[in-house]
């Protein structure tokens, strides 16, 4: 297969319903035509994560290894250089697939990637991934779950686990309840409440609670960062 010809492939974009929460709650961040030109700045996405972007990106990617073999799925685009770093780790013969429901986000990602990157972009809703079961060796979901209402979050997790092969892993990075004396536990709550209302679900519940039946605690490894404000879960499939 000609990797060069396949690189930066973007499957034909088609009209697809924008999820209600994305249109209503996150239009300003992802849907509006000016959103990309405003938010696509490394310093800004780093600021939004209180200076932790690189740390969390690298913690997520470290779970996949320095060289990532086989087929990898990234569920949803990310502002900043997350996908460039992931693509750079893809081992020879490997492949990265990235899905997002918004054409504007997929076009922006395509522009950020090298023409030689072994990456294919797909327009899919994370709640209905158009891949066969067990298609991927690993999958990664970076700060998507907190943006979704519980039903969509649950279905996203179900889909991500469905498409990972037995023996593979699913890596999740997202918000988490900060420790009791963490100032952001008190200062950041009203901001999240106003701008990202579903995010506080991740302060009140464990991600485990939205996983499909049959996933046991023994399959999950959890680590928190920055005084507990962030978490990484690695689920062995
Ligand atoms: C990964 S999340 C947030 C990442 C991070 N906050 C950042 O700085 O980009 C943002 C992406 O998720 C996408 N998204 C939201 N809901 C989705 C869904 N149901 N299916 C696929 N993509 C979705 C949005 O279009 C957007 O590109």
Domain membership of residue 9 (yes or no) is no
User: Does residue 100 contact residue 130 with C-beta atoms inside 8 Å?
Assistant: no
Q: Is residue 162 part of a domain?
A: yes
State the burial class of residue 106 (Cβ atoms within 10 Å of its Cβ: 0-12, 13-18, 19+). Answer: buried
Residues with CB under 6 A from ligand 1: 19, 22, 30, 45, 76-79, 99-102, 105, 125-127, 142-144, 147, 152
- 6 within domain boundaries: no
159, part of any domain = yes
On whether residue 55 sits in a domain, the answer given is yes
Residue 7 covered by a domain: no
The pLDDT value recorded for residue 17 is 85
CATH code for the domain of 171: 3.40.50.150
How many A from CA of 29 to the centre of ligand 1? 9
Range of the domain at 197: 15-236
Q: Say what the alpha-carbon torsion angle 188, 190, 196, 199 is, to the nearest 10 degrees.
A: 60
Among residues 112, 141, 138, 127, the alpha carbon closest in space to that of 39 is found at 112
- Rounded to whole angstroms, the Cα distance separating 44 from 226 reads 18
Question: Which is the closest atom of ligand 1 to the Cα of 79?
Answer: 9
- pLDDT for residue 4: 32
Q: Say if 8 falls within a structural domain.
A: no
Buried b (16+ CB within 10 A) or exposed e, 51-90: eebeebbebbbebbeeebbebbbbbbbbbbbbbeebbebb
Residue closest by Cα to atom 16 of ligand 1:
22
pLDDT on residue 79: 97
Q: How far is it, in rounded angstroms, from Cα 34 to Cα 201?
A: 28
DSSP readout, 112-173? HS-TT--EEEEE--TTS--S-TT-EEEEEEES-GGGS-HHHHHHHHHHHHHHEEEEEEEEEE
Total domain count for the chain?
1
Contact 176, 202 (CB under 8 A): yes
Does residue 4 sit within a domain? no
CA 215 to chain centre: 20
Per-residue confidence in pLDDT tens, the chain, 237 aa: 223 334 455 665 666 789 999 999 999 999 999 999 999 999 999 999 999 999 999 999 999 999 999 999 999 999 999 999 999 999 999 999 999 999 999 999 999 999 889 999 999 999 999 999 999 999 999 999 999 999 999 999 999 999 999 999 999 999 999 999 999 999 999 999 999 999 999 999 999 999 999 999 999 999 999 999 999 999 999
């Amino acid at each position: 297969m000609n990797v060069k010809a396949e690189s930066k492939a973007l499957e034909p974009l088609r009209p697809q319903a924008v999820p209600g929460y994305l249109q209503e709650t996150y239009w300003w961040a992802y849907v509006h035509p000016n959103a990309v030109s405003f938010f696509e700045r490394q310093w800004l996405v780093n600021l939004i994560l209180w200076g932790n972007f690189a740390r969390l990106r690298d913690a997520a990617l470290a779970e996949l290894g320095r060289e990532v073999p086989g087929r990898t799925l990234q569920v949803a685009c990310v502002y900043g250089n997350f996908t460039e770093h992931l693509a750079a780790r893809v081992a020879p013969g490997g492949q990265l697939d990235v899905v997002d429901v918004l054409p504007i986000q997929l076009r922006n990602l395509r522009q950020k990637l090298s023409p030689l990157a072994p990456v294919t972009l797909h327009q899919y809703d994370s709640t209905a991934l158009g891949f066969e079961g067990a298609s991927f060796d690993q999958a990664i979901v970076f700060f998507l779950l907190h943006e979704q209402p519980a039903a969509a979050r649950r279905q996203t997790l179900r889909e991500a686990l469905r498409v990972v092969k037995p023996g593979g892993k699913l890596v999740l990075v997202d918000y988490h309840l900060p420790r009791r004396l963490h100032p952001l536990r008190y200062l950041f709550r009203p901001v999240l409440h106003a701008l990202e209302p579903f995010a506080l679900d991740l302060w009140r519940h464990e991600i485990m609670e939205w996983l499909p039946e049959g996933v046991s605690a023994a399959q999950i490894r959890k680590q928190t960062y920055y005084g507990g404000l962030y978490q990484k879960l690695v689920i062995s499939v």
